[in-house]
Amino acid sequence: MVFGLTSALMLFCTLWMLASDHNREWKQYQRQFQNVEAYAAKSRINAQESAAYYDQQEKLEQALREAQSELPDEKLVEAFIAEAKGREKQNGYRLGAIEAAEAELADAHAGQTSADAESAVDPTRLIDLRRNLLSALQTVLDKAKLDEDNAQRELKFKRADLDVARSKYNISVDEGKPQQDLNALEQEVQAVEEEVDNLTFGDSKAKTIGYQQKHEHRLALQKILDRINAGEAAAQKTLADHQTELKRLETTLAERQSNPGKSLLEMPIIDAFGRPLKIDNIWLPQLTINNNFRDVARFDRCTTCHQGIDKTAPGSAVTSGYPATEHETLVIVTPAEPVAFTEEQDEHLKKVLAEEGEAAQNKQAEQYNLVQNYGFQLAPQGLFDLNEVTVSVVRPETAAANAKLEPGDVIEQINDVKLLGRERAVELLLEFADWGKPMELHVRRGIPHPFSSHPRLDLFVGSLSPHKSGDVGCTICHDGQGSATAFKWASHTPNSPAQNEEWTGKYGWFNNHHWIFPMPSKRFAESTCLKCHHDVAELEPSERFPDPPAANLMAGYTTIEKFGCFGCHEINGFDGPNKRRGPDLRTEPAYFAAAQQLLTDPNLNDREKQLAHAVAAHPERTATRKLLAELIAQSVAPAKTEEGERDDEAAAKASEPRLSADSLALGKMLGADDETPGQYRKVGPSLRSVAKKVDLPFLYSWINNPTNFRPSTKMPRFFGLWDHLETDVRNDPTAHLSGHAVPTESKGLADAKKFEPVEVRSVAEYLLHYSQPFEYAEPPKNITEGASAERGKHLFQVRGCLACHQHKEFPEAKQTQGPELSRIGAKLDSDNGKQWLYSWVLEPNRYHARTVMPNLYLTSIVDEKDPKKVSDPAADITAYLLASQEAWKPEEVPELDADAVKALDELTETYLLGSFSKGRAKVYLREGIPNDAEPELKVDEKLLLKGEDNSPEAMQRKKLLYVGRQTIGRLGCSGCHDIPGFEDAKPIGTGLADWGRKDTSRLAFEQILEYLREKPPSGEHGHGAHAAEGEGEHHALDPDEMDQDTGFFVEALLNHEREGFIWQKLREPRSYDFKMTENKSYTDRLRMPKFNLTQQDIENVMTFVLGLVAEPPAAKYVYHSTPRRKAIVEGEQLLAKYNCVGCHTVKMETWEFEYKPDEFEAPPAIPDYAFLKPHFTPAELAASKDVDQRGMGHAVISGMPNPEVQEDDDGNPLYLFSLWEPAAINGETWAVGGVEVPVPEAHRLKVRPYQGGDFSRYLHPVAVEMGKKNNPNVKPSDVWGWAPPPLIREGQKVQTGWLRDFLLDPFPLRPAVVLRMPRFNMSPEEADKLVRYFAAVDNADYPYEYHLPGGGDSLSSDEAKTFGTALELVTDGKNYCVKCHMLGDYKPKGLAADMAPNLDRIYQRLRPDYLKEWLAHPQVKLPYTGMPVNFPPQNDPNESIRTKYIAGTSEDALQDVVELLLNFDSYMKRQTSIKSMVKEPPPAEAEKAALDETAKPQPRASGG
């Protein structure tokens, strides 16, 4: 009994075990995914099995039948018989049968064609008859083959005999047999040879034929038969081709669908032994995971459940096959009234009724109805839920297809009615439809997790991606527990409280804090990129991945770069000099600061001064720096003592060094080396000479609250952050008396109010006191006009200031590279300020040697009308800016009254207590530190030395400076600013290099939850109502009640997670001091300031910081860019640093649009040189003709849309898009410089924005207005030529050496421009990087140098002659180049705006290939250029003039001119003057030409 019971128990437990194995989560997912796959295959089959498909199939089958019943060509049959006749008897052909069969077939055909219905023959009989004929023919062929085979066999045997005979003979020769024997053998061989010949070629004597004839005979027969059969074979092949895709899909379906065998293996119990469901492992032996004591190989089993992760859409390697679920609303057009069945359908329905009954008929009728009216069908049941209304088929070019409905869509709602089942849907669609009115379908598209595919298969998982799943697995990017096979154990992380709740309920998810690598939640998924992408910048969108690979992460990175977080929080990417562990954001060594500080030492000699200046301007020049350091170090070495001089004298000399101890320390700093120095500059301006710029009231106001002066500033707020301090109930001494607590000011708040003004003031005083001298720039001497704010405003607008700065008076300019200038006048409203601003505008690097603000070449301007009037643009701009004040006034600096002095003393004492005992601190506070204590003092305390003057006023000043210095040090001002005396300051904040893995137990959460309960965080989206409920009130912190983003972070805080900590730290940095200030010294309070960050900024920064984990994987996984990619990335960084992209467009807009192929007109053909034609392969052109389900074509174009939007016939906006890249659209090639592509707004699908050039776009309308003053007919497109040019194809255009020189020292290139290229304080290395960038972007050669074919002297006389004629053409001032271009000393008449660049140094600037293409058709290179086509390949209007100079075709002339321009320098060495050679048009004509822009565009080339 007991035994029976326990056995039953055991059996039960075993079964339970097997059942729970059978029901393991992943097995269920795999089973479900099989259904998904089968479903997908089925729906693809359905898509294939369209009516069109069957129509085509029907047609092809008919064609096949026709071919099969065709009457073969009589002549061929005759030829066959004729061929056969010769061998009829020998082979026993029955030719009669052929003839009979043919005759019968012919008769039948005759009957068929006689159009006599009665004698009409059943087509199948024709087929049979034809088959008879063919088989008769085949029989003959078979017999011929038999005969041939026999002959071949016979021949083979005989050949063997021949080999035997030959071998016998050879052996006999070897053995030295007598000649007779040899002869006999030789004869024997010959005899056999003859027999072989006879068998092969036939024996003419015996009248037999050989193998060869038989073979040929059979081939001849075969050929004829093939020709007879050709029609049928071709028809068969076409049909088979047509069916291939469907067959392939059917095979797939068969593989995916379950079958009895598979089902058996998937039965419970049996499936415990493995197949066919199994765990997918990705084994990554080199991509280890750190288990503290050991690195172990990763096993990623994620794909066990995420089965569809790598599935692509058919025909694409990067599009997701199973996109994740999303909801869409589609509008489908309904017919005016229900469409009736076609006859065929009617018939079929009747047949169905007869064969399968009414239910089947209804079903069929319903499908017909849906297809007829809408063009789609519904699946009998849903995939994941049987009741879901799922679309199974969408017919192309129907209402459904036009509404963009797709097979697999689940219709959830029709108009306002939510669907619960299929029947209801059918009712709504067919019975209660409001015919003629559009119907709204709410559909769910895509496949839910875990079945969906990766959304970025171009970047991840996919076989063409850089992160193939087999190579990198999943968890290196996603983290989480890769070896887990259940949802809850994989350490998924929810993205919101709602998701948290959903997962907890659905999957039993829990926050498994034991797994130290949990998946980052979706919002931080990009964090992990930093493990391998240490240089970060490479994650910008690129050619290969135009969609941003990690947008949030990059935004975080740029935010950190912008706000300079690394000034306080070092992010050291190196773990030792050669070991890279992550991104590296550190400030550069402060050599420049040390050099500048050194200059304050009055004992510096001239050489040292000179070197110090050089180092300040170019700290990257190591040799100069080392030399300076060495000189400083040598200054202490005892001067060489003369013999006899006593040692102690020398020692005395040495003990009094020429330079101060501080200077020596600075010298040491200058000599120090860092193997991997930081690369970042401090983000704030240098405060070294700040007293020469602003005064105390402004400084006080600014430090106290920077946003007061400039709301958009990146300077954070340090003072007045009191939210966490405000009131305190506990401190109210009367609470117990009154019975209820009255909120009073807490001690924390009182202290802050008392000390902060003193701190602000002392910091300002310190900065002003230690400010270094600076000499303002002097205005040029020849100025006659006074400064004019009005002129200044215009100059400010057009001379490029707005390319970096903003100003309220020009709201369209939105660049944020430089500070906002609307109030700048109020800041600099002092004598110093005015002079400083003038200096700064005129010559920025005078004040700051390495500033990114460029020199704008604001040279004096001579009035065009009155040459005597000379104005100073810098003074004008200064005047304008000084007038920009917005009536802002700095807040008043509070009096240094008794309370303030007391607070100052208290603060001084607090700081002194850090170094001295209490008693001594009090004495020092009262009397100052005795002078003899100096050697033991720290730098800070030296400020309190009694010195010579220790009057109370002097002491007070000393205390101010002391507290100022302490405060600067404590708050880390030197993290962003260069401040005198802080040259060797270290970052004050926590290092962030591995913050993403920081142990949460080491984060000081303090009383943050209490604080949040008192002041609940209100998200961006409301829920701020709590704040109004009053102070001191407690709220339950329930993340579910908050908006999803805030809730997510509050939940993280409740769980003491890093995400929560840093979120609150960035939001309210001081809030961690809540209720903590009472128990700590004032100077121990938290120091982090509050930055001007939005919620999104905070998340972006977090994405970056959480990604700093310092866990670099094996070297081969770390990203190493190709040289080309590296050049591009470095270049892009420089483009951003100097804001080149403020003026220049570096990437054109890209549009994806659709069109109706039959309505889309082909571009007019332009006759052009072959070398200019864009090249598309036939395959590319054919692919451009593909249409989608709705019959629409798609194309991608890159270039500039015309700013003037047109209207199409229906009054809808129509864009004209000017191409900058050739495009293949609708099977046609669209060239650059041709007609614009018309794109109706409704057809524009996707826009990828241009990059850079905002200022050019801003300037364009302004410049048009300016141009109109001189020429009312100026063409807007020409005006583009006056603005900074787009730098598209710059790499192919210019020579690298020229570009480098130009970047370092730009010279005027185009006379027409509104503003010149300014000069940046760019190092030669940086210029090189930019040059490399342009070469890399366009895949051009780098370095590139054009070698002249020879020196000037080596010109052959032939060449000289050619050049001579070419030069004559070039200098034809009426028709050719010099009409507009300057050349050598010649300058064409007319306005500067119409002039084009000087041609004499073109050979240094342009690459030869480019020059030739440019001259051949300028618009192909620069669509907006006004330069005309001077050498058209055909129909040259100037042909007669051209041939006067150069005989031959246009291309010859083109080639000659190109050659001339490239050899201009060497050729010109033989010439003296150009001027004399120019045949000028009469002056009146020249003037007319200059004005008459529209009649014939003035040629103008671009450049720069």
Partner 1 sequence: MHGNSADFIQSIATGLGCYYLLLFAMNWIAALWLWRKGPVTYFKAFGLLPVTNVLVWMLAGMFFLTLAPFTMIGWVPTLPAGVKDLVNAASGPVTLSVGALVALGAMFVLRRFFVNPIVAWSGFNLSLLAMGLSMTDPSFAAIVTKPDNVPIVGLVFLLGFFTWLATYKAVQNDDRMAQGLPPLEKEADEKVLVWPDLVYTELICMIALTAFLLVWAIALQAPLEEPASSVKTPNPSKAPWYFLGLQEMLVYYDPWYAGVVLPSVVIFGLMAIPFLDFNKKGNGYFTIAERKFSYLVFQVGFLNLWVVLIVLGTFLRGPNWNFFGPFEPWNAHKVLAQNNVDLSQYFWVEWLGSSMPKAPEGSGAGTQFWYILEREAPGIIAVLAYFMVLPPFMATTKFFRGMFVKMGFLRFMLLSNLLLLMASLPLKMVLRWIWNLKYIISIPEYFLNF
Nearer to partner 1 by Cβ, of 292 and 634: the residue is 292
Q: What is the separation, in whole angstroms, between the first and last Cα of the chain?
A: 102
Verify binding: residue 1034, partner 1, rule CB under 8 A: no
Verify binding: residue 516, partner 1, rule CB under 8 A: yes
Nearer to partner 1 by Cβ, of 17 and 1360: the residue is 17
CB of 46 to partner 1, least distance (A): 43
DSSP 478: H
CB of 22 to partner 1, least distance (A): 13
Label residue 131 exposed, middle or buried (CB < 10 Å: 0-12, 13-18, 19+): middle
Question: How many C-beta neighbours within 10 Å does residue 184 have?
Answer: 14
Nearer to partner 1 by Cβ, of 375 and 1039: the residue is 1039
1046-1075 residues in contact with partner 1 (CB under 8 A) are 1054-1055
Nearer to partner 1 by Cβ, of 304 and 822: the residue is 304
Nearer to partner 1 by Cβ, of 3 and 273: the residue is 3
Contact 1348, 1466 (CB under 8 A): yes
Can you state the angle between helices 51-69 and 123-175, rounded to 10 degrees? 70
Cα–Cα distance for residue pair 810/813, rounded to 1 Å: 6
Beta-bridge mates of residue 1304 = none
**Buried/exposed 960-970: b ≥16 CB within 10 Å, e otherwise:** bbbbbbbbbbb
Verify binding: residue 1159, partner 1, rule CB under 8 A: no
DSSP 329: E
Verify binding: residue 6, partner 1, rule CB under 8 A: yes
Nearer to partner 1 by Cβ, of 1013 and 1087: the residue is 1013
Task: Single out the residue of 927, 1031, 1038, 1180 in contact with partner 1 (rule: CB under 8 A).
Answer: 1038
CB of 504 to partner 1, least distance (A): 9
Give the interface segment with partner 1, choosing from 8-16, 139-147, 339-347, 666-674 (CB under 8 A).
Answer: 8-16
Beta-bridge mates of residue 1218 = 1200
Nearer to partner 1 by Cβ, of 356 and 1038: the residue is 1038
Verify binding: residue 1357, partner 1, rule CB under 8 A: no
Q: Which of 86, 64, 67 is nearest to 221 (CA)?
A: 86
Nearer to partner 1 by Cβ, of 287 and 1037: the residue is 1037
Verify binding: residue 292, partner 1, rule CB under 8 A: yes
Cα–Cα distance for residue pair 636/640, rounded to 1 Å: 12
Verify binding: residue 506, partner 1, rule CB under 8 A: no
CB of 9 to partner 1, least distance (A): 5
**Which ranges of 176-294 does DSSP label H, i.e. alpha helix?**
179-201, 211-256, 260-265
**1169: phi then psi, degrees, rounded to nearest 5:** -65, 150
Task: Single out the residue of 176, 180, 207, 293 in contact with partner 1 (rule: CB under 8 A).
Answer: 293
Give the interface segment with partner 1, choosing from 1-9, 236-244, 659-667, 1485-1493 (CB under 8 A).
Answer: 1-9
Give the interface segment with partner 1, choosing from 509-517, 1025-1033, 1222-1230, 1445-1453 (CB under 8 A).
Answer: 509-517
Verify binding: residue 3, partner 1, rule CB under 8 A: yes
* Strand stretches in 249-314, DSSP E: 282-290, 295-300
991-1020 residues in contact with partner 1 (CB under 8 A) are 999, 1001, 1009
Token pair 């059942």: residue: 19
**DSSP element (H, E) containing 394:** strand 389-394
Dihedral angle of Cα 1488, 1489, 1494, 1496, to the nearest 10 degrees: 150
Verify binding: residue 507, partner 1, rule CB under 8 A: no
**Which ranges of 417-566 does DSSP label H, i.e. alpha helix?**
422-426, 469-472, 475-478, 497-507, 551-563
Verify binding: residue 2, partner 1, rule CB under 8 A: yes
Give the interface segment with partner 1, choosing from 6-14, 545-553, 650-658, 1419-1427 (CB under 8 A).
Answer: 6-14
Give the interface segment with partner 1, choosing from 97-105, 1036-1044, 1285-1293, 1324-1332 (CB under 8 A).
Answer: 1036-1044
Verify binding: residue 489, partner 1, rule CB under 8 A: yes
Number of residues that bind partner 1 (CB under 8 A): 28
Record the tokens describing residue 294, joined without a space: 């050991």
Cα–Cα distance for residue pair 578/439, rounded to 1 Å: 66
DSSP 1251: E
Label residue 1085 exposed, middle or buried (CB < 10 Å: 0-12, 13-18, 19+): middle
CB of 932 to partner 1, least distance (A): 34
10-29 residues in contact with partner 1 (CB under 8 A) are 10, 12-14, 16-17, 20
Record the tokens describing residue 1272, joined without a space: 């009312």
Give the interface segment with partner 1, choosing from 288-296, 808-816, 852-860, 899-907 (CB under 8 A).
Answer: 288-296
Contact 657, 601 (CB under 8 A): no
Verify binding: residue 623, partner 1, rule CB under 8 A: no
CB of 450 to partner 1, least distance (A): 21
Cα 1413-1416-1421 angle, rounded to 5 deg:
50
Q: 1075 to each of 519, 1009, 1174, how far by Cα in Å?
A: 34, 11, 72
CB of 290 to partner 1, least distance (A): 8
Give the interface segment with partner 1, choosing from 381-389, 511-519, 1135-1143, 1432-1440 (CB under 8 A).
Answer: 511-519
**Which ranges of 994-1145 does DSSP label H, i.e. alpha helix?**
1008-1014, 1044-1054, 1058-1067, 1095-1106, 1123-1137, 1140-1143
DSSP 919: H
Nearer to partner 1 by Cβ, of 397 and 501: the residue is 501
Give the interface segment with partner 1, choosing from 280-288, 289-297, 1327-1335, 1400-1408 (CB under 8 A).
Answer: 289-297
Q: CB within 8 A of 134, min separation 6: which ones? A: 225, 228, 229
Give the interface segment with partner 1, choosing from 232-240, 513-521, 681-689, 1338-1346 (CB under 8 A).
Answer: 513-521
Task: Single out the residue of 514, 781, 868, 1347 in contact with partner 1 (rule: CB under 8 A).
Answer: 514
Nearer to partner 1 by Cβ, of 19 and 219: the residue is 19
Cα–Cα distance for residue pair 408/419, rounded to 1 Å: 16
Read off the amino acid at residue 934. E
Cα–Cα distance for residue pair 1209/1214, rounded to 1 Å: 9
Task: Single out the residue of 370, 400, 1037, 1062 in contact with partner 1 (rule: CB under 8 A).
Answer: 1037
CB of 1017 to partner 1, least distance (A): 16
Give the interface segment with partner 1, choosing from 53-61, 510-518, 982-990, 1219-1227 (CB under 8 A).
Answer: 510-518
CA 780 to chain centre: 47
CB of 1056 to partner 1, least distance (A): 9
Nearer to partner 1 by Cβ, of 506 and 736: the residue is 506
Give the interface segment with partner 1, choosing from 88-96, 194-202, 697-705, 1034-1042 (CB under 8 A).
Answer: 1034-1042
Give the interface segment with partner 1, choosing from 199-207, 374-382, 1031-1039, 1153-1161 (CB under 8 A).
Answer: 1031-1039
Contact residues: partner 1, CB under 8 A: 2-3, 6-7, 9-10, 12-14, 16-17, 20, 291-293, 489, 512, 514-516, 999, 1001, 1009, 1036-1038, 1054-1055
